[in-house]
Chain A
Amino acid sequence: NAGVMQNPRHLVRRRGQEARLRCSPMKGHSHVYWYRQLPEEGLKFMVYLQKENIIDESGMPKERFSAEFPKEGPSILRIQQVVRGDSAAYFCASSPWGSADTQYFGPGTRLTVL
């Protein structure tokens, strides 16, 4: 089992561009969570998805951010019109069911906005 995969590992964007971050959950896991870690901060919950459904997006900024987890393929976190404040590490976790104690984390994507 390869574990949770995220790509790219590093992403550089200029202000105003779009960023697409991908997360492939562990085999057998249908629950995906996205967390953001700003510099000098802990990881903060953004969104929880099951296949084809957004369950909880209470931690997502209201504008420019969206997430999906299609029936086929990885989960995508999309950030439109990036700004410098979006520079952070974005972590994805997956679990076989919706719970806090079974989440396995990916290596993260480090987004840098120039």
Chain B
Amino acid sequence: AQRVTQPEKLLSVFKGAPVELKCNYSYSGSPELFWYVQYSRQRLQLLLRHISRESIKGFTADLNKGETSFHLKKPFAQEEDSAMYYCALGGSNYKLTFGKGTLLTVNP
């Protein structure tokens, strides 16, 4: 069975501080992992995917198959990063399995 765990419901940091949003997954096959972000009053949008190995808005995430993790990191948080972040697992087909989300608040 596919499962995604985001252990932190809330995360609060100060502007300029590093931020790490944790994500662990459970999947027996070769996973596709994603981070989605939902800013206030906006729709869910894809932030990044592990297969692209890209950095979006200063965020990066590395897939660690040994630890079954896909943590999202940013070295210097900005106030505009405040949002709800969801980790999602794609598995081998079209179904996305989401974690419960982490609400990130970046304080001035």
B95 touches A48 (CB 8 A): yes
Contact of B86 among A43, A95, A107 (CB under 8 A): A43
Q: Using a Cβ–Cβ cut-off of 8 Å, how many residues does chain B contribute to the interface with A?
A: 25
Interface Cβ pair total, 8 Å cutoff:
63
SS class, residues of chain A in contact with chain B: loop
Q: Which of A48-79 contact B (CB under 8 A)?
A: 48, 56, 59
Q: Tell me the A residues contacting B by CB distance below 8 Å.
A: 3-4, 31, 33, 35, 40-45, 48, 56, 59, 91, 95, 98-101, 103-108
Q: List 9 A-B contacts (CB under 8 A).
A: A35-B96, A42-B86, A42-B98, A42-B101, A100-B32, A101-B51, A103-B96, A105-B43, A108-B44
Q: Tell me the B residues contacting A by CB distance below 8 Å.
A: 4, 6, 32, 34, 36, 42-46, 49, 51, 86, 88, 90-91, 93-101
